Each structure stands twice: as structure tokens, then as C-alpha cells.
């Protein structure tokens, strides 16, 4: 067979893969199944020992996770998990997502991006690792497509063609399931306590970790309003500060009610989830337990004093806090004096040290 004939045959096979994938997506199969099919068909088409993985970005555009990697050892996935932040100086997939451009590792044993982590790759026989970001029309990171080889090499033009097709198909699959399905995948695989609520604070779904924290079951929490499981009736709604122009993740303190009647302090990290038309739809909330009620000195504070405390340790001035809470700067100073008196703390540095010890702030 001539070189031209070989290229035509390869191109036809690639288009055949593309057609089958699009047919599966049009048939409304689950996202996980569509992504795994992308990986398996690309691996079969390559036929040269190449292995693939598709990663998804979290709702906050901060971290990646393996979503479809049937040929990648679980041990490798677990070992690499701490380095999957979307940031520089991380694993190549995280760097590719951060830069929004491909990152090609010729040899993980010597590449600077793998410094301190090369043994993770070589232990599982991976040398060449290529990562390409999957981007939406708005340039948001949806995930990455990654290719692995057992020997040092860089991608050829044929590889680039395959990568382009894989990222395009993965993008179609992900965006086709942009709403409830992608939320469900991110949510159900999260190891920490999380729940999803609508913009009115009604819980749409709670994972087992969050339900267990409060002594409920996940189905029991579905449909409850946040006011039903929290003690602070005057706390801000979940969506406060997340709607335009804010639209960033914020951390807040809230007192949650357990099913058996106890209370616990928790720090919640809400992020706004938009639908395919960029309309605010859900609030996805990660919850970190701080302490049970009882001898906790934080219990002495009123809800408003807790709000002021949160903002003081975040480095906000009295004027900034007043604008956020819609009270005067002198009122902020009064609340700050009261809360410091209740906590037995004499100055702001002491307040910050207290917050770090209590897990309210980090260094």
C-alpha cells in the first residue's frame, strides 16, 4: 500500500471513530460512557501501545480529576491526584489547563515539569506524556486529553490530528451534558462533604459525607431549605456575593443543625454553577466541619459578630466590611471590639492566630 493510500485509510478510520462517537453522544448516553468510548476508540486507532486519559475540571476551575482512564493504572491515578491543580509547577495536565495550550513531555524521567514527581510516572512505565486542554467557546477549561507512551517521544503530525479530534469530540460530549450530568459526576466523586442547592437555598442533592456529618441520610436532605438545617436565620443566602459582579468563591461560617439536635460550626465554600446559556442555576457548596457546639468559644458570638470576624481575618478594613455588610464603619469597630472581648483576645494579630488555630483561616 502506498503512503498516500495508507494516509487515506488512516484518515477514513479516524472519521469513522468520530462518526461513531457523535452517534453515541446524540443518543444521550451518560457522560462517563461517552468519555470512556472516546478513550478506547483513540487507543484502538493508534494501535502502538499508546494509552489515553480524559480529565474533567471542577466547577471552580481549580483542579482536574481522572474521568475516563480505563488503561491507566489506579495506583498512578491516586499518586498523581495531589498534583492535579490547574496551576504552574504542577503535573503537565494542570499546566496545560492553566496555560490553555498543549504541554508535551518527551521524557518524564528528565523533564523539569516532572521534577520531584518523575518516579510516579516511571514506576508505571510512562515516559512520554502529552496533555492538551479542552476549552469551551468562552475559553473556560472543561478538562484535558492526555496521551501516554512507554518510551521517550514527541507527537507527530498524525498524533496532533488524533489529539485535535479527541479534544473536539470530548468537548461536544462534555458540553452536551453541561447541566445536571456534569454536576452529578463532579459531585458524587467528591471525597468531602458537599451539597447542591438552588438559588433560593433549597437542597437539590447532598452527598453521603455531608449527610453523615449532620446525622441525616442523603435522600432525607433533598428538598430541605438551608434554613431547615441551620441555626442562623439571618445568615446571608448561599448566592450572596456570587452573583455578578462577584461571581467568585467565598468562604463563610455557618452553624448547622444535626438531626439529633446538636449543632456544629462549619466553613462553607460556595461556588456558582451556570447553565449552558450562562444563567446562574445552582450553588455547589463544599462544607468543612470546624467544631461541635458546646465549649466552643465561637458559640459566644452572634451571627453578625461571626460575619465581622470572618471578614477581619480575611484582611478587610472596617470600611470594606461595612460596605459588604451594609453597616457603618463605626458599627464594624463596635462588633469587632465585642467579639474580641468575648474571645478574650486583645488585638487583631491575636485574632488572626486564634482563627488559624480554630481552622477558620489558613497560613
- Residue that wins the pLDDT comparison between 51 and 302: 51
pTM above 0.85, yes or no: no
Lowest mean pLDDT among 1-15, 216-230, 240-254: 1-15
Class of domain 295-363: mainly alpha
Q: Give the integer Cα–Cα distance in Å for 361 and 350.
A: 13
What confidence category does residue 335 fall into, taking pLDDT thresholds of 50, 70 and 90?
A: confident
Q: Is the pLDDT of residue 59 over 90?
A: no
What confidence category does residue 2 fall into, taking pLDDT thresholds of 50, 70 and 90?
A: very low
Cα–Cα–Cα angle for 52, 94, 157, rounded to 5 degrees: 50
At 338-353, the pLDDT tens digits run: 888 777 787 877 787 7
Q: Give the integer Cα–Cα distance in Å for 181 and 221.
A: 20
User: Grid coordinates in use for 240?
Assistant: 450572596
At 164-221, the pLDDT tens digits run: 888 888 887 777 665 555 556 556 656 678 888 888 888 888 888 888 888 888 889 9
User: Grid coordinates in use for 168?
Assistant: 473536539
pLDDT of residue 20: 61
- Residue that wins the pLDDT comparison between 30 and 88: 88
pLDDT of residue 89: 84
Lowest mean pLDDT among 62-66, 142-146, 254-258: 254-258
What confidence category does residue 5 fall into, taking pLDDT thresholds of 50, 70 and 90?
A: very low
pLDDT of residue 247: 42
Per CATH, the homologous superfamily of domain 190-294 is PAS domain (3.30.450.20)
Q: Which residue has the cell 478574650?
A: 344
At 98-157, the pLDDT tens digits run: 999 999 999 999 998 898 889 999 999 999 999 999 988 777 888 999 999 999 999 988
Same fold, 3-179 and 190-294: yes
Domain edges within the chain? 3-179, 190-294, 295-363
CATH of segment(s) 3-179: 3.30.450.40
Tell which residue, 215, 303, 296, 225, has the closest CA to residue 261: 215
Q: Is the pLDDT of residue 45 over 90?
A: no
Q: Is the pLDDT of residue 249 over 90?
A: no
pLDDT of residue 363: 45
Tell which residue, 121, 123, 134, 135, has the closest CA to residue 83: 121
User: Grid coordinates in use for 249?
Assistant: 468563591
User: What 3-state DSSP class applies to 165?
Assistant: helix
Q: Is the pLDDT of residue 243 over 80?
A: no
Amino acid at each position: 500500500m502506498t503512503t498516500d493510500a495508507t494516509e487515506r485509510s488512516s484518515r477514513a478510520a479516524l472519521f469513522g471513530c468520530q462518526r461513531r462517537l457523535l452517534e453515541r453522544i446524540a443518543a444521550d448516553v451518560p457522560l462517563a460512557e461517552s468519555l470512556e468510548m472516546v478513550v478506547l476508540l483513540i487507543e484502538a486507532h493508534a494501535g502502538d501501545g499508546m494509552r489515553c486519559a480524559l480529565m474533567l475540571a471542577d466547577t471552580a476551575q481549580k483542579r482536574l480529576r481522572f474521568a475516563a482512564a480505563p488503561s491507566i493504572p489506579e495506583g498512578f491515578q491516586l499518586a498523581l491526584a495531589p498534583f492535579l491543580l490547574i496551576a504552574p509547577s504542577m503535573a503537565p495536565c494542570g499546566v496545560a489547563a492553566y496555560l490553555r495550550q498543549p504541554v508535551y513531555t518527551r521524557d518524564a524521567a528528565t523533564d523539569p515539569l516532572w521534577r520531584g514527581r518523575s518516579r510516579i510516572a516511571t514506576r508505571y512505565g510512562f515516559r512520554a506524556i502529552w496533555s492538551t486542554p479542552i476549552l469551551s467557546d468562552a475559553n473556560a477549561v472543561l478538562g484535558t486529553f492526555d496521551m501516554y507512551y512507554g518510551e521517550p517521544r514527541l507527537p507527530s503530525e498524525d498524533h496532533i490530528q488524533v489529539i485535535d479530534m479527541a479534544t473536539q469530540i470530548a468537548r461536544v460530549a462534555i458540553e452536551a451534558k453541561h447541566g445536571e450530568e456534569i454536576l452529578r459526576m463532579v459531585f458524587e466523586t467528591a471525597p468531602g462533604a458537599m451539597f447542591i442547592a438552588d438559588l433560593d437555598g433549597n437542597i437539590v442533592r447532598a452527598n453521603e459525607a455531608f449527610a453523615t456529618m449532620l446525622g441525616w441520610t442523603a435522600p432525607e436532605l433533598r428538598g430541605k431549605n438551608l434554613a431547615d438545617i441551620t441555626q442562623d436565620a439571618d445568615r446571608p443566602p448561599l448566592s450572596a456575593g456570587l452573583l455578578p459582579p462577584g461571581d467568585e468563591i467565598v468562604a463563610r461560617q455557618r452553624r448547622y443543625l444535626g438531626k439529633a439536635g446538636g449543632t456544629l460550626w462549619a466553613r462553607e465554600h460556595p461556588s456558582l454553577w451556570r447553565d449552558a446559556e450562562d444563567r446562574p442555576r445552582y450553588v455547589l457548596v463544599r462544607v468543612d466541619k470546624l467544631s461541635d457546639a458546646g465549649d466552643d468559644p465561637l458559640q459566644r458570638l452572634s451571627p453578625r459578630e461571626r460575619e465581622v470576624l470572618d471578614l477581619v481575618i480575611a484582611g478587610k478594613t472596617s470600611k470594606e466590611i461595612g460596605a459588604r455588610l451594609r453597616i457603618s464603619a463605626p458599627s464594624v469597630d463596635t462588633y469587632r471590639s465585642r467579639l474580641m472581648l468575648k474571645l478574650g483576645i486583645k488585638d487583631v494579630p491575636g485574632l488572626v492566630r486564634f482563627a488559624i488555630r480554630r481552622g477558620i483561616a489558613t497560613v
